[in-house]
Structure formats: structure tokens, C-alpha cells
Copies of this chain bind each other. A is one copy, B any other.
Amino acid sequence: MNWQEQKLAEGILYTDMYQLTMAHLYYRYGLHEREAQFDHFFRSYPDYGEHKSGFCINAGLEWFLDWIDRATFGDEEIAYLRHQTGTQGNRLFEDDFLAWLRGRPASAGITLRAIPEGRVVHPNVPLTVVEGPLAQAQLIETPLLNYLNYQILIATKAARICQVTRGQMLLEFGMRRGHERGVNAGARAALIGGADYSSNVGASAVLGYEPKGTHAHSMVQLFMALGEGELGAFRAYADVYPDSCILLVDTIDTLESGIPNAITVFEELRRQGHEPIGIRLDSGDLAHLAVQSAKQLNAAGFPDVAIVLSNQLDELTIWQIQTQIAAEAPRAGLDADELIGRLVYGVGTRLITSKADAALDGVYKLVAVRNGAEWTPALKISETPAKVPNPGQKRVWRIYDERDRATADLIALAGEEPGEEERLHLHHPIEHGTFRDLGPGEISTVEPLLVKVLEDGDRVYDSPTIEEMRAKRDADLSRLDEGVKRLMYPHIYHVSLSRKLWELKQALIASARPE
């Protein structure tokens, strides 16, 4: 793919074919400019097999907005569509429709509300709400899902990993194993979710973060092949980067060769007036090696150099490493907390691919259609009650209890003002007769979650910086119950419906069932 082809593949044709055939059908029926509302939400938290998440971190909006800002039906796109044919060789898209499309930006007429990036979010809550001409709103379904699903998945994974890093540095190292150019979005989402830096130079450049890295085994191998050995490699690294010296010590044998050689070079560095930064362990029993490496380093007078760990890390392996260190460090005469406090985590594959659950099940559902001055709610009745989307034009509120903890997200109809109600009724999303009623003493704040981002195609929102998103994430996580944040078998956060929405949904289901 050259740049020209890439522009074609990633512009307004970056969508599923059926969005275009439906848009054409709407055009033929005079429905293409009929206003509709679509909700974007995910159905379930990532489930990593032996563990699952109790929350997600929202991410991806700004890059989707960048896409929508530049996606337009230009001559090349129109020419391509003109040549699409059906099974009988007849053209799929007629000229009048193509004339309507030509020059049309993806954002034309679109009003978009969204929960800001960095915020804690939960299943079935509309994260992004699109109102606009049916044809346009349909076309952007695929790119919206594509841009948001993945970044939410990765920001969530990064936030989970940060739950166990105890404030130590987390580096995103996954570029080589991620899904091709999706890795740039992955690096961004990892930063939003809590990674401090990424090794990905291009993404870091664009995002304004310093790219981080040390050296590879190949550099040590090279000096070995040239007869200089591991020690020669370490000396060269210290020579070129005397103030940024982190040495990878596992090319030959970590404890017998790597650490002794690193200590030799660290001592030389110190004599020259430089302080070494750290060592990196990339294979073997990382907990055991960290303890034994620390013991050697401490004995040599380097109790402060960082110990960077990498190799198939995720939140559970890090947790397990810390547990093992807590058991092993005292036996080696070391303080476990002190040792854990000098660890740095380089997390690759399992972060950038969310390896054990590599997809978020985000969907985009038609929920209302404009009929004159009214909005008619739209319904899809599926096999299972949990999969029937909530109909109608809606807004989302987060309810904080008297301890200022988030106790529920409330999905209500547009126009409802739950903050003004005497008692708040939170209905279970599926079960009949299951609800909570909260009185005035039980609520501290009722916070609207959606903000307006696009209005009639124009951006009316200044995207926060990634640092601001990170601050939002921290604030939201600090107001979330500890049980919801458990890495395994988390307490399930309440996502509730207002009484009006519950009743509307039941009435629509009853009327839509076939006789």
C-alpha cells in the first residue's frame, strides 16, 4: 500500500460495505436525511479467562474525531463506488445517490455526544450518542466502533496493570506483536489507561511523550561475536549513554555473567561521575532473578538502580512476582517492599493485544427516529433480554452515594432530570421488579456523563490532553468501590434504567412481538 492507496483505504471508505448499500437504500426511499439516533455501548467487560474486569476506561474519541474531520467523498471514492456491481453485473449505486454523496464530509449534519476519554465506563451505558441524517449516521458506525472498541480495550488493560504496579513506572513495549498499525492507537490508549511511556517512537512523537528503551540482546551478541564479550557491550553502552545507562543482563546468564558485568561497568561509571540507572531482566524466573540481582547490586553499593522487568507480563504475573518477592526477599536478607519499589515494568504483547480477551464487544444501535416533531423509539428484539438495546433518546447520569462513591450509572430518557427528583428510582436493566430507591440522604451528586462533541458537523469540544484524561481516570477510579476494582471476580457495578425508560422498553417489547 502506498500513501495514495492508504488515503483511499483509510478515508470515508474505511467502513463496512453494508453501510453504503443501506445509505443508498435510504436515499432511494427519501429517508437518507431523516434524523436518527444511534447509541454506542459495549455489552460486557473484558473477560480474560481466569480473571475479568469490573470497569472499563473510555478512550479513542479524539482519533475518531480526527477521522471524521477528514473523511469526505472525493472523486476517487465516487469513481470506486460507481464501479461496484451486483450479481448480475448491474450497478449497485445509482448516479443520483453518488451525486448526493460527492463532496459530502462524513460529519455532515452529525451531532455527537460522548463520555470523555479517561473516564471509567460500564456496560450498556451509551458512551457515544450520534444524532444525524440516517445515511450519515449509518456510514460512521464502522469507523466509530473500530476507533473506540480497541482503545477502550487497551486503556482498560493498562488501568488494570496499574492497579498492581504500586505507582512504579509502566512502559508499553508491544509494538512488534500488536496488530499492525493499530499499535499507534494502542500506545495512545495505554498512556490514557496508565502506562507512563511507550517504546513506540512514532506514536510517542505524535502524542508528545518521550519514547523509552534500553538495548536488545543483539547488541550484546554483536560484541560477543567481535570478541569483546558482554562486558565490552556494557562498556560501550555506558560510554555512549553514561547518564541513561540501563543494561540488559540476560543474554548469557543473568546471575553468573550479566549482573557481575553490569556491576563492573556501574563502578566504572561512578568513578567517572555518573550514576547508573538500572538493569533489565527479560527471561527466566523474574521474581527470583530480581531478588538475587538486587542482592548482588546492593552488596556492590548500588541499592537504588532500577530493575526493569519484561517478558509476558500482565496484571496477574506482576501480582504473582510481587507475592513471590515478598516470600523470597527476606530469605535473601532484603526488604521486599524496598525491592518492589525499585521495579519498572515493561509490558508488551499482553497489553497491546489485550491478549486473553482481544476484542471489546462494542455495538452501535439505532434507538430512535425522528417523526416530525417527535422522536419514535426504535427496538431490536433479540433472543435474549440482555441483548435488547434500550430504546429512545437517552442521557446518562452517574449517581454518587453519601460517601461520594459512584454507586450506579443511570440511563434515563432525554428530558428527564434525575438530579431534581425527590427519590431516585434505579431499575434493574432486565429483571422485572428489581430496583433500588435512593432518598436525598443517600445521594451526594448526580453527574451528567455525556458532553456535546459535534454539533451539526462542527467540533464544539476541546479534547483534553492525555494528562487530563489520566487525571480523570485517577479521579474516577478513586470514587469507585474497591470491590468493583478487584482483579478477580469483581463486584458488579450497577447500571440502571429510569422508571420511564424501563416502562417504555417493556411497552415496546410487548407491542413488537409477533402475534
Does residue A134 face the partner (Cβ distance < 8 Å to B)?
yes
Does residue A211 face the partner (Cβ distance < 8 Å to B)?
yes
- Docked Cα-Cα span, A200 to B9, in Å, equals 9
- Docked Cα-Cα span, A66 to B355, in Å, equals 28
Chain B nearest CB, measured from A228 CB (Å): 10
Which residues from chain B contact A243 at a C-beta distance below 8 Å? 86-88, 90
Chain B nearest CB, measured from A364 CB (Å): 8
Does residue A298 face the partner (Cβ distance < 8 Å to B)?
no
Interface residue stretch chosen among A117-125, A180-188, A411-419, A425-433: A180-188
Which residues from chain B contact A359 at a C-beta distance below 8 Å? 177-178, 349, 353, 355
Interface readout for A337-359 with B: 1 if CB under 8 Å, 0 if not? 00000000000010001110111
Instruction: Give A244's nearest chain B residue, CB to CB.
Output: B86
Report which of B24, B186, B253 forms a contact with A240, defined as CB distance below 8 A. B24
- Docked Cα-Cα span, A60 to B179, in Å, equals 12
| 24 A-B pairs (CB sep. < 8 Å) | A5-B206, A8-B206, A9-B184, A9-B205, A10-B184, A10-B202, A16-B199, A17-B212, A18-B216, A20-B213, A22-B215, A25-B236, A28-B240, A29-B236, A31-B222, A138-B218, A178-B359, A180-B186, A182-B183, A217-B380, A220-B380, A224-B378, A224-B379, A353-B358
- Given A18-B199, A66-B2, A206-B5, is A145 in contact with B217 using a C-beta cutoff of 8 Å? no
Which residues, 1 to 51 on A, are CB-close (under 8 Å) to B?
1-3, 5-11, 13-22, 24-26, 28-29, 31, 36, 38, 49
- Given A240-B25, A379-B224, is A211 in contact with B17 using a C-beta cutoff of 8 Å? yes
Interface readout for A122-153 with B: 1 if CB under 8 Å, 0 if not? 00000000000010001001100111011100
Does residue A250 face the partner (Cβ distance < 8 Å to B)?
yes
Chain B nearest CB, measured from A42 CB (Å): 11
Interface on A for B, CB 8 Å cutoff? 1-3, 5-11, 13-22, 24-26, 28-29, 31, 36, 38, 49, 60, 63, 66, 70, 80, 84, 86-88, 90, 92, 134, 138, 141-142, 145-147, 149-151, 173, 175-186, 199-206, 210-222, 224-226, 236-237, 239-241, 243-244, 250-253, 256-257, 277, 283-284, 349, 353-355, 357-362, 364-366, 368-369, 371, 376-383, 387, 512-514
Interface of A is mostly: mixed
Chain B nearest CB, measured from A97 CB (Å): 10
- Given A183-B182, A283-B382, A353-B359, is A15 in contact with B202 using a C-beta cutoff of 8 Å? yes
Instruction: Give A147's nearest chain B residue, CB to CB.
Output: B180
Instruction: Give A216's nearest chain B residue, CB to CB.
Output: B18
Chain B nearest CB, measured from A380 CB (Å): 5
Query: Are B222 and A134 neighbours in the complex by a CB distance under 8 Å?
Result: yes
Report which of B182, B365, B383 forms a contact with A179, defined as CB distance below 8 A. B182
A-B interface, 3 closest residue pairs, ranked by CB to CB distance from nearest: A18-B213, A182-B182, A17-B213
Query: Are A225 and B21 neighbours in the complex by a CB distance under 8 Å?
Result: no
Query: Are A181 and B185 neighbours in the complex by a CB distance under 8 Å?
Result: yes
Report which of B206, B217, B362 forms a contact with A1, defined as CB distance below 8 A. B206
Which residues from chain B contact A203 at a C-beta distance below 8 Å? 9
- Docked Cα-Cα span, A8 to B240, in Å, equals 26
Which residues from chain B contact A210 at a C-beta distance below 8 Å? 84
Interface centre among A221, A237, A376 (most CB of B within 10 A): A221
- Docked Cα-Cα span, A26 to B226, in Å, equals 13
Query: Are A145 and B176 neighbours in the complex by a CB distance under 8 Å?
Result: yes
Which residues from chain B contact A2 at a C-beta distance below 8 Å? 66, 70
- Docked Cα-Cα span, A181 to B177, in Å, equals 15
Interface centre among A18, A80, A250 (most CB of B within 10 A): A18
Which residues from chain B contact A22 at a C-beta distance below 8 Å? 215-216, 218-219
